[in-house]
A = this chain, B = another copy of it.
Amino acid sequence: MDAEFEIIRRLNEIIPSHGRRDARAGILTGIGDDAAVLRHSRKSDWVVSCDASLEGIHFHKEIQPPESIGYKSLVRAASDLAAMGAKARFFLLTLGLPREKTGRWLDRFAAGMSRAAREMGIRLIGGDTSKNDRVEISITVFGEVEAGRAVRRSGARAGDMIFVSGRLGAAQLGLEIVRRGLARRASLKNFIRPHFFPPIRLELGEWLSHHRVPTAMMDLSDGLSTDLARLCAASRVGARISAGRIPKVRVPETLVRRRINALDLALHGGDDYQLLFTASRKSAGLLRRRIAGVPLTCIGEITRSRNILLVRADGTAWSLPARGWNPFKKK
Contact = CB atoms under 8 A, between A and B. Distances in A.
Interface of A: 3-4, 7-8, 10-12, 14-18, 25, 27, 30-31, 33, 35-36, 38, 40-41, 48-52, 54, 56-58, 89-90, 92-97, 99, 102, 106-107, 110-111, 113-114, 117-118, 122-133, 136, 138, 140, 142, 327-328, 330
Contact of A113 (B15, B40, B56): B15
A270 to B, nearest CB: 12
A138 B94 contact: yes
User: Chain A contact residues: over half helix, strand or loop, or mixed?
Assistant: mixed
Given A123-B25, A127-B8, A140 B36 contact: no
Contacts of A8: 127, 129
A304 to B, nearest CB: 30
A54 B54 CA distance: 12
B52 A123 contact: no
A223 to B, nearest CB: 15
Contact of A106 (B4, B10, B58, B92): B10
A7 B43 CA distance: 37
Nearest to A124: B17
7 contacts: A4-B129, A15-B124, A50-B140, A51-B94, A52-B130, A54-B132, A131-B327
B12 A130 contact: no
A244 to B, nearest CB: 34
A102 B54 contact: no
Contacts of A3: 102
A305 B140 CA distance: 39
Which 6 A-B pairs rank lowest in CB-CB distance, beginning with the nearest? A138-B138, A17-B124, A14-B110, A131-B327, A36-B126, A140-B140
Contact of A49 (B35, B92, B95): B92
A48 B92 contact: yes
Nearest to A22: B123
Contacts of A128: 49-52
